[in-house]
Chain A
Amino acid sequence: DAMVIQNPRYQVTQFGKPVTLSCSQTLNHNVMYWYQQKSSQAPKLLFHYYDKDFNNEADTPDNFQSRRPNTSFCFLDIRSPGLGDAAMYLCATSRGVTDTQYFGPGTRLTVL
């Protein structure tokens, strides 16, 4: 009964080749978040959706975009991955914007 599911768990892409990471949730939460965590570093919030409202962090690179077609799914698109984008990407959800966040298992992205 996984609640926040991320696919794939491991993704390998080539430098400059667009890649999409997927997150789905069975909690019916209103808010979905994407974090980037580089090796031995703190997770860093990229953006979040409250329902269909998209909120981008000020320092998120333009290379990163997101889509939320419905309540259950949220996608992270990296248009032209660079070597510096290799990281663990964590999805989280919360009922409301001030509620506890629940994290998925993450997708580890490798850029060759």
Chain B
Amino acid sequence: KQEVTQIPAALSVPEGENLVLNCSFTDSAIYNLQWFRQDPGKGLTSLLLIQSSQREQTSGRLNASLDKSSGRSTLYIAASQPGDSATYLCAGTRRAGGYNKLIFGAGTRLAVHP
């Protein structure tokens, strides 16, 4: 059972396009939502964290929103650049036995071509 789903699995766009990555979750106990970037063969870099009391967060060209009632989050990337090419993972946070557990999606692999 996939608790966190990311669509599309892969995306290829020309440079300069605005794009939206989608994340959905079925577990109503998820209360935070975090977006990560992963370059090939590398670890995870946190991009944005949307806490339960927030609806969106912005950092530069990135904007992430969270709608807990519908179990959805989106990551909006404005004016995409080739350097944005990477895999983007979302992760929901839920409490499990007194600690925070991150539940990851499988990611969207983004390629931005010049």
> Which of the 9-residue segments A14-22, A37-45, A62-70, A73-81 touches chain B?
A37-45
Give the interface SS of chain B, mostly helix, strand, loop or mixed.
strand
Q: How far is the CA of A90 from the CA of B103 in the complex (A)?
A: 14
Residue contact B104 to A98, C-beta cutoff 8 Å? no
Across-interface contacts of B103 in A (CB, < 8 A): 42
Give the interface SS of chain A, mostly helix, strand, loop or mixed.
strand
Q: How far is the CA of A40 from the CA of B38 in the complex (A)?
A: 11
Residue contact A103 to B43, C-beta cutoff 8 Å? yes
Contact (A105, B42) CB under 8 Å given A42-B4, A100-B49: yes
Q: At the interface, yes or no: B114 with Cβ under 8 Å from chain A? A: no
Residue contact A97 to B43, C-beta cutoff 8 Å? no
The interface centre, meaning the residue of B41, B43, B105 with most chain A CB atoms within 10 A of its CB, is B43
Q: At the interface, yes or no: B97 with Cβ under 8 Å from chain A? A: yes
Residue contact B106 to A41, C-beta cutoff 8 Å? yes
- Distance in angstroms from B112 CB to nearest chain A CB is 19
- Chain B positions near chain A (C-beta within 8 angstroms): 4, 9, 36, 41-46, 49, 89, 95, 97-107, 109
Would you list the 9 A-B pairs with minimal beta carbon distance, nearest first?
A: A97-B99, A42-B104, A105-B43, A103-B44, A106-B43, A42-B106, A103-B43, A43-B104, A98-B100
